[in-house]
C-alpha cells in the first residue's frame, strides 16, 4: 500500500504507474480515494471543533456551578450532551471514510522501480544474465516423473486416490534427495549469516491481507473452515507477519532470516493440475529468504538475495539465468522482481525455480512495521526470495544430472546429506 500523502500530492504519478502495470480498470480508484480523503479530513476537522467546543462548555459549567448558577449550568449540560451525540455520529462517519480509503488504497499497486521494463505479461520479461553452460546431451532425457519412477521414488496414482491431482508421494532415494536439498539450502543460508526459522504454517486473515493483494489471496490461499486461519502459500507470509504492528529498533536491523515450511496453494486458474508432473502442485516444501531492513539498504539486499539463489544452484551444478520481471508481471505489492530460472535439458529451455522481490514499504505499511527514528517512526522495507523449492527444483536437478544409463549423479555439496551416496541407480 502506498503512502496516501504521496497519492494526495502526486495523483498523476500514481495513475501513470497504474497504466504501466496495464491495470487501467483501477485508474478510478485514485480519484475515489482523493474524494474520500477530502471528506475524511473535513469530518476530522469538524470533530476537533466539536471537542474544542465541548471542552470550553465543560469549563463554563464548572464556573457556573461554583457561582451557584445551577439552572444555567444545566442548560449548558444539555448543549454538551448534544455535542456528544453529534461526536458519536461524526466518529462513525470518520471510521467509515477511513475504512473505505484503506480498502481502495490496498487495491492500488505499489510504485514500481524506474528500472523495471514495461510489458504486459511474463512473455515480455527480459533476460539479465546466464550462469553456467546449458548442456544438451546426445541422449534423450526422460520426463521427470519417468526418471523418478525408474528410481521407485514417486507414486502419483496413490496420491490421487488419497488426495486428488496435484499431490504426490515421494519415496526412497528421491525423498531423501528432496530432504537433502532442503537441508543443504538451510545450511547454505545460515553460512550467509541468516537466522534459521520454522514459522507457523497457518496465519490469520489480517496477516493475509497485509502480505498480499486480494487477487493473490483468492487465487492462492486455502481457508480453514470455521476458523480465522489460512494455510500459508509460502513462509514469507508468516515470517513477515511476525513483525506486524511492531516498532523496530535501528540497532537490531536488518532482520535477515531463512525459513522452512510446507506451502499450500490452490493454483486457481491453472486450468487443471497436470496429473503426471510435479511442476505445478497444491503442496510443496520450500526454503525462503526474508529481509526487513532500513529503506536505504533494501536495493543492496535485493541484489544479495537473488545472487544467493544463483550461487546455490550453481554449487549443485545446475545452469541458471536471471530474468527481469516486466511491469505487467509484478504483483501489486512489488516494486521490482527478478526470477531465477533453471535449465531443462529435456525441454531445452529455462523454467522458473525462484523469485526475488523488493516490496519497499508497501507491505510494511499494510502490516504496521515501523522503525523507531530520532525524528519519528517510519516504515521498514521488506524483501523475500526463494532459496529453493523442491520438488519443482528436482526436475532441474534430475535432468541436469541424468546419465545415459538412467543413473543420477549427486554433486559433491550434497554427499554429506545423502550419507555419502554419489550416484543413484535406477531400480527399474
Q: Tell whether 113 is covered by a domain.
A: no
Q: Tell whether 52 is covered by a domain.
A: yes
Q: Are residues 52 and 197 in the same domain?
A: no
User: Residue with C-alpha cell 544409463?
Assistant: 405
Going by pLDDT thresholds of 50, 70 and 90, the confidence category of residue 71 is confident
Question: pLDDT per residue over 378-418, tens digit each?
Answer: 999 999 999 999 888 999 999 999 999 999 999 999 999 99
Q: Tell whether 114 is covered by a domain.
A: no
Q: Are 299 and 75 in contact (CB under 8 A)?
A: no
pLDDT of residue 272: 53
Q: Are residues 101 and 131 in the same domain?
A: no
Q: Are residues 286 and 141 in the same domain?
A: yes
First to last CA, the chain: 54
Q: Are residues 13 and 66 in the same domain?
A: yes
pLDDT of residue 421: 97
Q: Are residues 160 and 229 in the same domain?
A: yes
Q: Are residues 35 and 165 in the same domain?
A: no
Q: Tell whether 37 is covered by a domain.
A: yes
Nearest alpha carbon to residue 65 among 74, 54, 52: 74
Helix, strand, or coil (residue 179): helix
| Total residue length of the chain | 428
pLDDT of residue 275: 58
Cα atoms in the 13 Å half-sphere on the side-chain side of 72: 11
What average pLDDT score do residues 278-287 get? 92
Q: Tell whether 111 is covered by a domain.
A: no
Q: Tell whether 115 is covered by a domain.
A: no
Question: pLDDT per residue over 4-29, tens digit each?
Answer: 999 999 999 999 999 999 999 999 99
**pTM for the full model?**
0.90
C-alpha to C-alpha distances, 246 to 129, 184, 198, 209, 259, nearest whole angstrom: 38, 32, 20, 17, 20
Q: Tell whether 278 is covered by a domain.
A: yes
Burial of 201 (C-beta count, 10 Å sphere; 0-12/13-18/19+) = middle
Pairing, β 370-371 against β 378-379: antiparallel
Q: Rounded to the nearest 5°, which phi and psi values hold at 287?
A: -110, 130
* Domain total in the chain: 2
Q: Are 122 and 329 in contact (CB under 8 A)?
A: yes
Nearest alpha carbon to residue 388 among 171, 188, 242: 188
Q: Are residues 126 and 192 in the same domain?
A: yes
Helices (H) and strands (E) in the chain, counts: 13, 18
Q: Are residues 239 and 277 in the same domain?
A: yes
Q: Rounded to the nearest 5°, which phi and psi values hold at 190?
A: -60, -40
pLDDT of residue 273: 54
Average pLDDT, the chain: 94
Question: pLDDT per residue over 245-276, tens digit each?
Answer: 999 999 999 999 999 999 999 976 554 555 57
Domain with 17 in it:
4-105
Q: Are residues 203 and 238 in the same domain?
A: yes
Q: Are residues 209 and 74 in the same domain?
A: no
Question: pLDDT per residue over 134-178, tens digit each?
Answer: 999 999 999 999 999 999 999 999 999 999 988 999 999 999 999
> For residues 304, 310, 314 and 318, what is the CA-based torsion angle, rounded to 10 degrees?
170
What average pLDDT score do residues 355-366 get? 96
Q: Residue 156 belongs to a domain with what CATH number?
A: 3.30.930.10
Alpha helix (H) residue ranges in 136-278:
144-150, 156-162, 172-191, 205-211, 214-220, 235-241
Q: Are residues 126 and 68 in the same domain?
A: no
User: Residue with C-alpha cell 489460512?
Assistant: 230
Q: Residue 28 belongs to a domain with what CATH number?
A: 1.10.287.40
Q: Are residues 26 and 148 in the same domain?
A: no
Q: Tell whether 110 is covered by a domain.
A: no
pLDDT at 214 over 80: no
Amino acid at each position: 500500500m502506498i503512502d496516501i500523502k504521496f497519492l494526495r500530492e502526486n495523483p498523476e504519478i500514481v495513475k501513470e504507474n497504474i497504466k504501466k502495470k496495464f491495470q487501467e480498470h483501477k485508474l478510478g480508484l485514485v480519484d475515489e480515494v482523493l474524494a474520500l480523503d477530502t471528506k475524511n479530513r473535513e469530518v476530522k476537522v469538524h470533530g476537533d471543533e466539536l471537542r474544542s467546543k465541548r471542552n470550553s462548555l465543560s469549563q463554563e459549567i464548572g464556573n457556573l456551578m461554583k457561582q451557584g448558577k445551577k439552572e444555567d449550568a444545566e442548560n449548558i449540560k444539555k448543549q454538551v450532551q448534544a455535542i456528544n451525540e453529534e461526536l458519536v455520529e461524526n466518529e462513525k462517519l470518520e471510521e467509515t471514510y477511513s475504512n473505505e480509503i484503506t480498502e481502495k488504497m490496498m487495491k492500488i499497486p505499489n510504485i514500481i522501480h524506474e528500472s523495471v521494463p514495461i510489458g504486459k505479461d511474463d512473455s515480455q520479461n527480459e533476460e539479465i544474465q546466464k550462469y553456467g553452460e546449458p548442456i544438451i546431451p546426445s541422449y534423450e532425457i526422460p520426463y521427470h516423473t519417468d526418471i523418478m519412477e525408474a528410481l521407485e521414488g514417486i507414486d502419483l496414482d496413490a496420491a490421487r486416490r488419497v488426495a486428488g491431482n496435484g499431490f504426490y508421494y515421494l519415496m526412497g532415494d528421491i525423498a531423501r534427495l528432496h530432504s537433502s536439498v532442503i537441508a543443504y539450502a538451510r545450511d547454505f543460508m545460515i553460512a550467509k549469516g541468516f537466522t534459521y526459522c520454522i514459522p507457523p504454517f497457518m496465519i490469520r486473515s489480517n496477516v493475509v491481507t497485509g502480505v498480499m493483494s486480494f487477487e493473490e489471496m483468492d487465487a492462492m490461499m486455502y481457508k480453514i473452515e470455521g476458523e480465522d486461519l489460512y494455510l500459508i502459500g509460502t513462509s514469507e507470509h508468516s515470517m513477515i507477519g511476525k513483525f506486524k504492528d511492531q516498532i523496530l529498533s535501528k540497532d537490531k536491523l536488518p532482520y535477515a532470516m531463512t525459513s522452512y515450511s510446507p506451502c499450500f496453494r490452490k493454483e486457481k486458474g491453472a486450468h487443471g493440475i497436470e496429473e503426471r508432473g510435479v511442476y505445478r502442485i497444491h503442496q510443496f516444501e520450500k526454503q525462503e529468504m526474508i529481509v526487513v531492513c532500513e529503506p536505504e539498504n533494501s536495493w543492496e539486499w535485493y541484489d544479495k538475495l537473488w545472487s544467493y539463489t544463483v550461487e546455490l544452484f550453481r554449487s549443485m551444478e545446475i545452469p541458471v539465468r536471471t530474468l527481469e520481471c516486466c511491469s505487467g508481471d509484478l504483483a501489486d505489492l512489488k516494486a521490482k522482481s527478478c526470477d531465477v530460472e533453471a535449465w531443462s535439458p529435456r525441454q531445452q529451455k529455462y523454467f522458473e525455480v525462484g523469485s526475488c522481490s523488493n516490496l519497499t514499504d508497501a507491505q510494511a505499511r499494510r502490516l504496521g512495521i515501523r522503525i523507531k527514528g530520532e525524528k519519528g517512526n517510519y516504515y521498514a522495507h521488506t524483501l523475500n526470495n526463494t532459496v529453493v523449492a523442491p520438488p519443482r527444483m528436482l526436475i532441474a536437478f534430475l535432468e541436469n544430472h541424468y546419465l545415459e544409463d538412467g543413473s543420477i549423479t549427486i554433486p559433491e555439496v550434497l554427499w554429506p546429506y545423502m550419507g555419502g551416496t554419489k550416484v543413484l541407480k535406477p531400480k527399474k
